[in-house]
Amino acid sequence: MFFEIEGITKRYGGLVANSNVSLHVNRHEIVGLIGPNGAGKSTLFQIIDGFVRPDSGFIRFKDKDLTKLPTSKINKAGIACTFQHAQLFPQLDVLESVMIGTYCRTMNRAAARQEAEKLIAFTGLQGKEGTLIDKLTMFDRKRVELTAALATQPELLLLDELFAGLNSTEVSEMVDLVLRIRRELKPTFLIIEHVIKVIMSICERVYVLDYGKIIAECKPDELSKNPLVVKAYLGEEYDAS
């Protein structure tokens, strides 16, 4: 199995953020993770990334147990993540931000810069290398964080609401970029997303989380046919077309 989590549970006092969550992702898949706010999606990503320790359960990546590893070792194992609110240093410029990612694989500054410049061109940020992060639009900040994540050479890329806050044109451009990344760089994706048209257009399978539990696993076009998903997340007014 390429990636799987089994029986993940995380409690915060009386609150159960994740309850016996199990899922898997096959190599080269794009898998979605959806659910209402507070369902435990981001907590699950934080557990996978090593920022949060689960109370029970296992995380396996290419048959290796990552459950107790620190974030740095999880990243070196081949897993990277972007966040809903881009986690970048505002005082750095675009090139410096991406170079931080390249240092996961090399400590040679010239090689790091060369790789960063190549990826910046790949993600459409060429010409903005010297622009400070706090001078960028939200769309470009998200692209920089995605580029920095790619610089770590991930085999599994976790995207936490990459499309949140983008307008329809920017969503379309980001979808095209994600599909190009998949086609040319060939990572596997696990995506948290509230923009349903993104889930419908790029995911092969979807897990639905509600109150910390997986309530469904299905193909995107089956979501609106599942009464549990409609009740918990889509709503009765959802138009599948």
The pLDDT tens digits for 205-223 are: 999 999 999 999 999 999 9
pLDDT given for residue 83 in this prediction: 83
Q: Which residues is 10 bridged to in the sheet?
A: 18
Q: Which of 54, 45, 39 is nearest to 209 (CA)?
A: 39
pLDDT given for residue 21 in this prediction: 98
pLDDT-based confidence at residue 240 (cuts at 50, 70, 90)? low
The stretch 152-173 carries a mean pLDDT of: 96
Q: Which residues is 192 bridged to in the sheet?
A: 33, 160
Q: At what angle do helices 94-102 and 138-151 cross, to 10 degrees?
A: 30
Q: Between 40 and 233, where is the model more confident? A: 40
pLDDT given for residue 143 in this prediction: 96
**Rg of the chain in Å (alpha carbons):** 18
Q: Which of 54, 63, 58 is nearest to 22 (CA)?
A: 58
Give the span between the Cα atoms of 7 and 54, in whole angstroms: 10
Give the span between the Cα atoms of 149 and 79, in whole angstroms: 9
pLDDT given for residue 53 in this prediction: 96
pLDDT-based confidence at residue 99 (cuts at 50, 70, 90)? very high
Q: Which of 161, 141, 146, 145 is nearest to 37 (CA)?
A: 161
- Please state the pTM of the whole predicted model: 0.93
The stretch 129-147 carries a mean pLDDT of: 96
What SS3 state is found at 101?
Answer: helix
